[in-house]
Structure 1
Amino acid sequence: MHAINTLLSRPRRFASRRLVYLIFGLGLFAFAFFVLSPQEPVIAPADSPTGATPPKHESKHIVGEISDTLSKSILNPFREPAHAPSRQKQDTYKGTSWWADWKWLSVPFSSSVTFDEERALLPPLRERTPIYCYYDSTIKKPREEKDAESDLLRTWRRAWWAHGFRPVILSASEAISNPKYNELHRMDVDPDLKIDLMKWFAWESMGAGLLANYALVPMAPSDDPLLTFLRKGEYPSLTRWKGLDSGLLAGQDVEVNKVLRALLDSSSLTTAKSVIEIVGKEAFDIDKTPTSLAFYTPEAIKKGYSEVAGIFASSRAKGLSSLNKLINAHLHMVWQGRFPDGIEVLQPLPDHTTFMVEPALKLANSLGYCPENPIPYSCPPNVYRCKHCTAGSTSMKISTPSEYRNTSRVFSLGTVPHPWTVASLDNLEENIDVSWIVRKSSRDPWLEALTQKLLGSHVSGNLRVMRFKQAVADDHASTNALWVTAEREISMDLDWHFGFAIPHPEPKKTGEDAKEEKSKEKAIKDDSSRNAKREALAVKEASKPDLVPEEYVELVEEPVALTPEETKAKERSLLDEAKRIVNIPKLTRETKVRASLEAWNLADTEAWKFTRAYMARRLMERVEWEKEEAKYVGGAGSDKGRSAWSRWRDQKEQAS
């Protein structure tokens, strides 16, 4: 019988209410600890050599301590809110984040400085020295002529941007904002001198610096002494260069102000046609003729490029378009001539990564392709002898080595894969889990294979990461190599990285295609005959008497050999699946395994994250600058071309 409470005349409870609450609390704690707490990924020992296999007692999944799990859990009632790590301006682009610091080469792994596994540690972004050119978009001209000038301005901007400068197009708006413009407006001067003065006024309004003609482009390596000097942005005196006239000027605003003040007070202002003619040579330091700059003056075009000069005589718009193609072809040819040993598309694990490096190989073919050139056997004005390149042919050797060479004789194209991509492709593995990672996968195989020749085999992953970062982001490293990630499309703004418009030739069908088709048909026939033989052999084996009882036979599942076509299809499928998993932003079962794989391949992961962040920052820098500069000069010289407002104004001018 149940005990009866004499006071209330009702059955006594089986357990007190406090005990029920205690049991409920313990159950909730157990649920939070074993279910909600994130699993600790498999961590590789920091001092273990690259590729070393851990002992068997470390193959079990490592679980964090209870105190650490409780302190980080959202169910911990005693946990105080923590501030997020400090951020920098413009440190994120399309889901990729970074932290810029001079310590980028002092530590191998970014998280030791950023305290964030997803934030890469990059070198500080170098400030680009501005270089100005003047273009008056208010002058009435035919629409075709303005469009051709806009294309030529884009070529000028692209060439200087690739060499580390920030090209800026000035217009009459900057000149009018100069207080000296009011004095000029009241004077009667020659039209040519007025145009030249407007250019100087606009230049002074920007604080001086570098002023160039938009027909002047750099055609030399980025480490050229003159280009290095110009990038510093320190010009102690007003300087111009022999043979360039006013094609390139350098100076400070104080000196420019003195020149303009003396010019406006000069008595020869009404008769001269240029600023240099009035102030004379005494106002400038004249340096020797530069060999790293190409200046396409009207005189140089008539003397060395008669075909283009003839087109100018018939139509200025067509002449500008032809000149633009000529300059772009010369920029491309000079770049090709810098690498006598050709282009190397790096493929450290060559067995099953053909599709992975296919975009880089396509880019290499485009870079080695000879561009369209109105005068195929011509050289730039600053180069007397050059390697000629016939349009439609390939002038560079393209190879796919497995190891990186630190040499300036080749241009290297590297495709950096995520550890998941490496594991799935190199092993043709579809099912990756923690057990497979620990038992069958090697550590940092991609980076070790890439630097094997450069560093040898007895080197830690830390040193390999440091050398890799230097190859990606060191001074002038981008001039000899380009690194991209395997899981994202190659950026379409590479024209600005190289400084010229990259041609995109259409693949031509040749006899090789026919041979490939025949080989495919032969492979299909071989597969069918092979399958028939397998079936006949299976029937023959089934008819034999069993020598051993079936219950004692151990079934061993052997891997099925894939045909070349089946292997290619599987490689492509695995690559697509790897791209999907690597780009998953949310926490899922796959991302937990991905985190374990990243922890198992710390060096490969750091190389991938560093490359991804470096690419994203480079693209963000140019996109933001392009967006800002497109607001001026009616969009002339921008990627999108002249703005709709400028074109509407052209129509109004033609109608009037």
Structure 2
Amino acid sequence: MASRAWNPCSYLPRRLQIVASLTTFLLFCLLFLGTSSPDDPTTYVNSVPFGPELRTGAHQVVDRLPALPKVPYMAPPTWLNPFSSPAHTPPPEQANSSSGEARWYADFKWRNPFSSSTTLDEERAVLPPLVERPPVYTYFDAAGRRKDEKSRQAEQDLLQVWRRAWWAQGFKPVVLGKPEAMNNPLYRAVQGLELEAEMETELMRWLAWGNMGTGILANWLAIPMAAYDDAMLSFFRRGEYPLLVRYESLESGLFVGSKIWIEKAIKEAIANPSINTTKTFFEAVPPATFTVDKSNTAIAFYSTANLKAKYPSIREKLSSATQIADGLAMLPPLINAHLHSTWQNTFSTGIAILKPSPEKTTSLILPAIDLARNLSQCATSPIPASCPPNRPKCKPCVSSTHMPITVATVFRNTSTLFTIGTVPHPYTLISLLHSRSTLDVKFIRRETARDSWTLAATSELIGSGQSSFFRLPALKDAVASEYGRARSLWFTAERPPRGDSEKDAEELDWHFGFVIPREPLDDGRSVTPVPGPERRPPPPKDEFGDGPRPSSSDLKREIAFFEQARLFLQRSGRSSSSSLKKLAGGGGGKEEKAAVQTRGIVEAWNLADTEVWKFVRAWNARLRVERRGWEEEEEDFLGKGRFAKWVDRVI
């Protein structure tokens, strides 16, 4: 056997061999590489910089280095660490999802207590998906109409009344004209027919409807006059019309159907050999073309026959050739008054103004009290105490019996009670309750209750013992559900629905479907035996709720604190997330930083109250965006400008 080379470490165990080898290597380095023999050892020691000299030299080296480009931060790809947990990303921004500081995201998870769990963003509120409004069409051809200014203005006012009423009921009103009829491929077949004037208008109306497709065709004097959840209106809102239906009591005032049935009916009418002698469309088609519905609970048709039978004063003016314009001018205020009284009859219990914190919050509900008084008063009408055609047994509005107005400390889910809710920001509520213009962390944490507004408002609806987070879905349902939004109006205290500007008043008109009275009447036009020159009801007796009645000086002081809080929120807003990013980057002054931080602390301490406030703010903002977007689409058809459809065109 060959002898192996001698290795002294081979006689040691394996682990000791490794230790011995490392020890030998370190000793070798210390002996031969770690020593120096300068002539004067102190010279070498003194040449090594230390302390201030070392710092000065380091600064000089750094200052001489070229500036490095700023590289944006990029998150590492997930494939570098396949075992890491996935990160959630915020949902993308949706079209038309912001207005001012309000931002929202439409999703079916809108009833979840907190929007941030879906959006991963504290500033975006989750709203229910926007419900598609089924179209309702009317036909108006200015050619052949009366040319005097009074009649023209009355017709434009009637069209505006028609549009406003259908919009408030959840529909998308569209005014059609002859251009839509000419776009229908069947228009050429109608050109060669010699028709009566009434039948020609009827065919143009149907051709325009057929060009648009499935939907509702209504006369511009056919107005929805019922509660929002009426069975007939609910059927219309579904937007599914399997048959071509006409209503017996409405004559030719309203039809519903799909595009295929509309086209079939037009072809049958054109093929009728006796079409030249007929005056109505349903007389020119076979009886089986339509499904006739004898029930009508929701549509008031102000036809010539109904006007002559039910409203003698208008009948007399329409019968006179010189007073037709005066008769037409009476229709818009009459229909508006009927819409208003129908709404009042729907909410027989009255109007409730929500005031969960009865002490020191009267200034928050003053706009709601003014709105409730306007809603409960009687509208101006040329025929007082009259009823709409579809509701002959209505309860007319008279100044002797007004709608009850109450101030409620809790929200009540009653179908016959209309609620006006004012939601304050937590900062505003704390400022008023504690009469403080400035807040700090110590005071917020030790002296204020959490989510006091949410807990108080839902104390009867939910009961006690439940957390504020559990109560949020119920409040959101009261604001944005189909049932809730028809029986309540919610707004933030910092942006109340004031009627002092025409723009704000118009928003309320489109919400309710009628023009809300702006000022009290003082001409004494009331119905006998109703006395009194004033129709506007007084403020509610329990205006201050369960709290003490504040003096005029206390109320002025409360209003001053409220204005300070409102200005503070404006200064700390625009939106909070962008302000925080600005502050993180070093921007903003000391006051701005302190305001944003204080607002963030208050909102973090009152998560539920903040969620309700942001939800209501976003809800109202989206309503404004939706309506104004629709008005922009219909701008050329509003009777304005050169290309108006409601007036004669100059070609």
* TM-score, with structure 1 as normaliser: 0.77
- Write the distance in 1 (CA, Å) between the matches of 2:180 and 2:210: 9
Matched ranges for 1:490-509 at <5 A:
490=497, 491-492=504-505, 493-506=507-520
Aligned residue number for residue 573 of structure 1: 560
Matched ranges for 1:132-531 at <5 A:
132-139=137-144, 141-312=147-318, 313=320, 314-390=322-398, 395-490=402-497, 491-492=504-505, 493-506=507-520
Greater alpha carbon shift after TM alignment, 303-312 vs 357-366: 303-312
* C-alpha deviation, 1:287, in angstroms: 0.9
* C-alpha deviation, 1:350, in angstroms: 1.7
Answer yes or no: is the 8 Å Cα contact 2:603–2:610 preserved in 1: yes
Confirm or deny that 1:92 pairs with 2:95.
Answer: no
- Write the distance in 1 (CA, Å) between the matches of 2:76 and 2:291: 65
Answer yes or no: is the 8 Å Cα contact 1:340–1:410 preserved in 2: yes
Structure 2 alignment gaps of length 5 or more? 1-40, 64-69, 78-86, 498-503, 523-531, 533-548, 581-591
- Write the distance in 2 (CA, Å) between the matches of 1:340 and 1:456: 26
* C-alpha deviation, 1:470, in angstroms: 0.8
SS at match of 1:147: helix
- Write the distance in 2 (CA, Å) between the matches of 1:88 and 1:168: 26
- Write the distance in 1 (CA, Å) between the matches of 2:125 and 2:223: 35
Aligned residue number for residue 583 of structure 1: 570
* C-alpha deviation, 1:647, in angstroms: 11
Answer yes or no: is the 8 Å Cα contact 1:417–1:486 preserved in 2: yes
Confirm or deny that 1:643 pairs with 2:641.
Answer: yes
- Write the distance in 2 (CA, Å) between the matches of 1:20 and 1:267: 105
Answer yes or no: is the 8 Å Cα contact 2:426–2:606 preserved in 1: yes
Structure 1 alignment gaps of length 5 or more? 26-73, 511-561, 637-641
* C-alpha deviation, 1:261, in angstroms: 1.4
1:358-404, Cα deviation, whole Å (9 max, x unpaired)? 111100000001001111121111112122223x6662111111111
Matched ranges for 1:10-49 at <5 A:
14-16=52-54, 20=58
Greater alpha carbon shift after TM alignment, 574-583 vs 366-375: 574-583
- Write the distance in 1 (CA, Å) between the matches of 2:605 and 2:162: 47
SS at match of 2:461: helix
Structure 1 residues 252 and 396: alpha-carbon distance in aligned structure 2, compared to 1, 3 A threshold: same
1:251-287, Cα deviation, whole Å (9 max, x unpaired)? 1111111121122222112222222111142210101
Matched ranges for 1:68-83 at <5 A:
none
- What letter matches 2:608 in structure 1? A
- Percent identity over the alignment? 40
Answer yes or no: is the 8 Å Cα contact 1:208–1:253 preserved in 2: yes
- What letter matches 1:495 in structure 2? D
1:198-226, Cα deviation, whole Å (9 max, x unpaired)? 00000000013210011111111111111
- Write the distance in 1 (CA, Å) between the matches of 2:216 and 2:292: 15
* C-alpha deviation, 1:174, in angstroms: 0.3
- Write the distance in 2 (CA, Å) between the matches of 1:23 and 1:603: 55
* C-alpha deviation, 1:143, in angstroms: 2.8
1:619-641, Cα deviation, whole Å (9 max, x unpaired)? 11111101211212xx23xxxxx
- Write the distance in 2 (CA, Å) between the matches of 1:284 and 1:351: 61
* C-alpha deviation, 1:24, in angstroms: 9.7
* C-alpha deviation, 1:420, in angstroms: 0.4
Aligned residue number for residue 543 of structure 2: none
Answer yes or no: is the 8 Å Cα contact 2:643–2:649 preserved in 1: no
* C-alpha deviation, 1:178, in angstroms: 1.0
SS at match of 1:286: strand
- Write the distance in 1 (CA, Å) between the matches of 2:193 and 2:156: 31
Answer yes or no: is the 8 Å Cα contact 1:342–1:409 preserved in 2: yes
Structure 1 residues 563 and 129: alpha-carbon distance in aligned structure 2, compared to 1, 3 A threshold: closer
Structure 1 residues 293 and 5: alpha-carbon distance in aligned structure 2, compared to 1, 3 A threshold: farther
Confirm or deny that 1:614 pairs with 2:632.
Answer: no
- Write the distance in 2 (CA, Å) between the matches of 1:122 and 1:415: 19
- Write the distance in 1 (CA, Å) between the matches of 2:550 and 2:302: 57
* C-alpha deviation, 1:15, in angstroms: 2.6
Aligned residue number for residue 520 of structure 1: none
- Write the distance in 2 (CA, Å) between the matches of 1:206 and 1:473: 30
- What letter matches 1:133 in structure 2? T
- Write the distance in 1 (CA, Å) between the matches of 2:198 and 2:110: 52
* C-alpha deviation, 1:186, in angstroms: 2.5
Structure 1 residues 78 and 243: alpha-carbon distance in aligned structure 2, compared to 1, 3 A threshold: closer
After superposing on structure 2, the runs of 4+ consecutive aligned residues of structure 1 that deviate more than 4 Å are 3-6, 9-13, 17-25, 74-85, 644-653
- What letter matches 1:452 in structure 2? S
Higher RCO (CA 8 Å, separation ≥ 6 residues)? 1
SS at match of 1:482: strand
Answer yes or no: is the 8 Å Cα contact 1:111–1:119 preserved in 2: yes
- What letter matches 1:261 in structure 2? K
Structure 1 residues 103 and 84: alpha-carbon distance in aligned structure 2, compared to 1, 3 A threshold: closer
- What letter matches 2:495 in structure 1? R
SS at match of 1:406: coil
- Write the distance in 2 (CA, Å) between the matches of 1:647 and 1:339: 37
Structure 1 residues 234 and 12: alpha-carbon distance in aligned structure 2, compared to 1, 3 A threshold: closer
Answer yes or no: is the 8 Å Cα contact 1:4–1:10 preserved in 2: no
- What letter matches 1:643 in structure 2? G
Answer yes or no: is the 8 Å Cα contact 1:437–1:597 preserved in 2: yes
1:306-360, Cα deviation, whole Å (9 max, x unpaired)? 1122233343332222111111101100110112221111111121111111111
Answer yes or no: is the 8 Å Cα contact 1:97–1:120 preserved in 2: yes
- Write the distance in 1 (CA, Å) between the matches of 2:415 and 2:51: 86
Structure 1 residues 78 and 626: alpha-carbon distance in aligned structure 2, compared to 1, 3 A threshold: closer
Structure 1 residues 172 and 651: alpha-carbon distance in aligned structure 2, compared to 1, 3 A threshold: closer
Structure 1 residues 567 and 279: alpha-carbon distance in aligned structure 2, compared to 1, 3 A threshold: same
Answer yes or no: is the 8 Å Cα contact 1:135–1:169 preserved in 2: yes
Give 1 or 2 for the bigger CA radius of gyration. Answer: 2
Aligned residue number for residue 631 of structure 1: 636
Structure 1 residues 238 and 435: alpha-carbon distance in aligned structure 2, compared to 1, 3 A threshold: same
- Write the distance in 2 (CA, Å) between the matches of 1:182 and 1:278: 18
- Write the distance in 2 (CA, Å) between the matches of 1:327 and 1:347: 34
- Write the distance in 2 (CA, Å) between the matches of 1:596 and 1:566: 31
- Write the distance in 2 (CA, Å) between the matches of 1:356 and 1:469: 20
- Write the distance in 2 (CA, Å) between the matches of 1:470 and 1:647: 40
- Write the distance in 2 (CA, Å) between the matches of 1:20 and 1:359: 67
Structure 1 residues 351 and 23: alpha-carbon distance in aligned structure 2, compared to 1, 3 A threshold: farther
SS at match of 1:452: coil
* C-alpha deviation, 1:114, in angstroms: 0.4
